[in-house]
Structure 1
Amino acid sequence: MIIDNEEHQTKEVYALYGLAMYYAQCCEKSLVMLLSSAWASQVDQMITDDYDKLLQVNMKKTFGSLLKTLESENKISRELTENINSVLKIRNFLAHDYFWDRAGEFTIHEGRTKMVSELNKYIDIFDELDLKLTEISDNWGEQKGVTEEMKAECMNKIIQKAMHDYCNQI
């Protein structure tokens, strides 16, 4: 199959849109994890069941609700709150309006070129916030005795479960 330049560029827009939404979701889930651990009230008194319940509650919240929880508890700097708020606005724009608002641009080469650039910028913004949130989470975890080996073991369990589930579907 030969893909012409226009088709390739269209696929690139769709792929970058998907990647941008992936990174937005990473930011959202990082907030969930922090609100269920480092930024949870009375975290030092929690037992595993408390953590699991709080995690389930936070997983059901929207990105906007997570931000409201953060703001109401005043747990983070104003700068980080503003950064999260700006990321939320971009995420909501992508999820609800992006292709509608870019319908004209999407039909022409120059417009898709602009969209590729714009989506790459959004990916960088999401990635930058996620790295900040991950650093906060990692620092908190280190203070609580979480090691790289423990994190690797958890990741290995996730991979093993995915492989098991996949192999059972074949």
Structure 2
Amino acid sequence: MDIQHIIAHFEQLSEEEQTKEIYAHYGLALYFGQAAEQQVAHMLIFDKLFQVKPETGEQYTALFEEYAAATKPAGLLAIEAQMAYQLADADRDELQQVLMLREYLAGSYFKIHAALVLQPEGKRRLLSDFTAVQNRSRALHARLQQYQREYVERTGVEPELMQQTWATVVRDAQRVLAAQAGVA
């Protein structure tokens, strides 16, 4: 996303619309960061399924929940992804940074930068920060997809098995999310 185009559009908006635009870009930054995190979790689940080959539903569920919960530190996820998918050091570092940025945005960003919403220059900075995170997350997502394609080619996983496995991962993700929603 071109920040100059976004800023030009932003400056034509009313103050109220600008605030909405900032929060829309904040939401998109979180979304794309979360998408990259979930992609890594799914990649690692996929790798573990073909390495461990769980024999029972309990083994499968334990393996799935280890990564689906996304409770591992960003650095550990990045290293595991690098080992499983042969990520370049620069991509491993970018993955770690994007995961940490997403967590920072979700937990601390507005605690530190809340006053920026009240200043014209601050609003542009917020917009620029959120757009930068979106762009980094999207670019990383595309690179991770390429690594996953190369992994599939390298390991010789049949497309049908890949689809079956992915269907199982999706089904279990829905089950885990439904169970978490019921607890909350």
TM-score (norm 1): 0.71
> How far does residue 70 in structure 1 lie from its aligned partner after superposition?
4.7
* Alignment-derived partner of residue 35 in structure 1: 44
* Alignment-derived partner of residue 85 in structure 1: 96
> How far does residue 67 in structure 1 lie from its aligned partner after superposition?
3.5
CA contact (8 A) 1:6 1:109 kept: no
* Alignment-derived partner of residue 165 in structure 1: none
Q: Does 1:68 align with 2:76?
A: yes
* Alignment-derived partner of residue 122 in structure 1: 133
> How far does residue 92 in structure 1 lie from its aligned partner after superposition?
2.2
Write out per-residue CA displacement over residues 105-161 of structure 1, whole angstroms, 9 at most, x where no aligned residue: 1112221122112211110001111111122223334541227xx59x96xx98xx9
Considering fraction of residues, name the structure with more helix.
Answer: 2
Counterpart AA for 2:46: S
CA contact (8 A) 2:95 2:140 kept: yes
Work out the percentage of aligned pairs sharing the same amino acid: 22
- Partner SS state of residue 62, structure 1: coil
Larger deviation, residues 18-27 vs 85-94: 85-94
Following TM superposition, where does structure 1 have runs of at least 4 consecutive aligned residues deviating by more than 6 angstroms? none
* Alignment-derived partner of residue 144 in structure 2: 133
Q: How many corresponding residue pairs?
A: 149
- Partner SS state of residue 138, structure 2: helix
- CA 1:94–1:73: 2 relative to 1, 3 Å: closer
Q: CA RMSD in A?
A: 3.1
Counterpart AA for 1:102: H
> How far does residue 103 in structure 1 lie from its aligned partner after superposition?
1.5
Counterparts of 1:148-163 in structure 2, within 5 Å, are 150=163
Q: Does 1:95 align with 2:103?
A: no
> How far does residue 7 in structure 1 lie from its aligned partner after superposition?
0.6
CA contact (8 A) 1:36 1:51 kept: no
CA contact (8 A) 1:37 1:51 kept: no
Larger deviation, residues 128-137 vs 22-31: 128-137
* Alignment-derived partner of residue 4 in structure 2: none
Q: Does 1:109 align with 2:117?
A: no
Write out per-residue CA displacement over residues 64-101 of structure 1, whole angstroms, 9 at most, x where no aligned residue: 2x541553686043222211121122112201221122
CA contact (8 A) 1:32 1:58 kept: yes
* Alignment-derived partner of residue 158 in structure 2: 145
* Alignment-derived partner of residue 46 in structure 1: 53
- CA 1:46–1:89: 2 relative to 1, 3 Å: same
- Partner SS state of residue 37, structure 1: helix
- CA 1:67–1:17: 2 relative to 1, 3 Å: same
